[in-house]
């Protein structure tokens, strides 16, 4: 994906140990409901701020390098930790979304924000 579109997943490494703790990235697979910054962390790494830190850097990359105007996060309704990350980033729940086959039966909510909203939310995050 990187060579073709400049998007794909980054590894998230824990700074102190260098241990791999998850992945995050800007992606837009065929049939996806929008351009997504998505993440997945190992359970032992949740609740420590890693997802918010990595997502903020990836949001910057998506808007500034890739030139995206809007970013979504496809989050299962029961995934409260990811919803909390999206909220901390300043994204809003835009309602139910539909993924392409064969994932169409997975119930998700679409969270997201625009480039202009991110500029405001990034200032708040850094504050």
DSSP string, 23-72: EEEEE--TT-SS-EEEEEE-GGGTTSSHHHHHHHHHHHIIIIIS--SEEE
Q: Read off the CATH number of the domain in which 54 is found.
A: 3.40.630.30
% pLDDT > 70, the chain: 97
Query: Domain range holding 59?
Result: 2-126
pTM above threshold 0.85: yes
Q: What pLDDT is stored for residue 58 in this prediction?
A: 97
Q: Which residue has the tokens 């029961």?
A: 78
Least confident segment among 2-6, 91-95, 99-103 = 2-6
pLDDT at 1 over 80: no
pLDDT level of residue 4 (50, 70, 90 thresholds): low
How many independent structural domains does the chain possess? 1
């Amino acid at each position: 994906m990187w060579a073709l579109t400049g998007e794909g997943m980054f590894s998230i490494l824990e700074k102190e140990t260098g241990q791999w703790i998850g992945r995050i990235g800007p992606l837009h697979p065929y049939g996806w409901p929008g351009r997504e910054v998505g993440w997945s962390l190992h359970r032992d790494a949740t609740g420590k701020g890693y997802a918010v830190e990595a997502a903020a850097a990836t949001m910057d990359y998506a808007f500034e390098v890739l030139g995206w105007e809007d970013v979504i996060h496809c989050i299962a309704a029961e995934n409260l930790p990811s919803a909390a990350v999206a909220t901390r980033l300043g994204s809003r729940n835009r309602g139910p979304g539909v993924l392409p086959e064969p994932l169409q039966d997975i119930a998700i909510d679409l969270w997201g924000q625009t480039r202009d909203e991110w500029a405001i939310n990034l200032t708040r995050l850094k504050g």
